Copies of this chain bind each other. A is one copy, B any other.
């Protein structure tokens, strides 16, 4: 492609840095992250998020659409790099590399920048550990139409490559805040948003509890559930009825069920 620097050396500094960006510390220090694959880059562009750099390898392309997409990133200001197959395979983190990878600037929303709807509807997650769960939770939040997701005391950061991947592009569109539980609890109180904790130890079912009005659904971590801080701070605790083994529902599944019950109640 025109205007693209070609990289073939696996020792190239850019190649080495792309591999580094899989890890949180260099990712945060550089305030960058990577997203791989046609769909991710396409979703980013459609959401108005332009990659700083695009790395591509025509040999790996699966179809005909990659070149127009890459051209369109270039027109919007991305710097292009064409990689040899071995170089691309080194930087790719997906099993079947599609030959396109973007480097993006990280962003951060503050609590006060959240675009609240008239009757706020938020999802709060505390200390989620697994990137795959956080990605699925982003998809659920998107499908349910929440205003934003607030990640309190995050263990997995939003820009982890597996969060980006498993969110199927939702990361690029969903307002998402990473902050502390303490700040969030104060903010909810100032905003007069009622918070509802989902926990297996609650007395009331999620379907028996009012989930209308200004609402934050609050979900705990995979291993530990919600902290005492959150359980105390929430106005209500709810549980999902479980017919089978105790661990059949993981946190991503419990989030999905609770959000869609809220959607049902709020649409009536």
Interface residue tally on A, bucketed by range: 20 to 34
The yes or no answer to A222 lying at the interface (CB within 8 A) is no
* Chain B proximity mask over A249-262: 1 for CB below 8 Å, otherwise 0: 11001001100110
Indicate how many identical chains form the complex: 2
The yes or no answer to A243 lying at the interface (CB within 8 A) is yes
Across the interface, A244 reaches (CB within 8 A) one of B142, B243, B248, B249, namely B142
Across the interface, A256 reaches (CB within 8 A) one of B145, B169, B257, namely B257
The yes or no answer to A83 lying at the interface (CB within 8 A) is no
The yes or no answer to A170 lying at the interface (CB within 8 A) is yes
CB A136 to nearest CB in B, in angstroms, measures: 8
Which of A140, A173, A248 has the largest number of chain B CB atoms within 10 A? A248
**Cβ–Cβ < 8 Å partners of A263 in chain B:** 241, 243
CB pair A241 B253 closer than 8 Å: no
Binding site for B on A (CB under 8 A): 43, 136, 139-140, 142-145, 168-170, 173-174, 207, 240-245, 247-250, 253, 256-257, 260-261, 263-264, 267
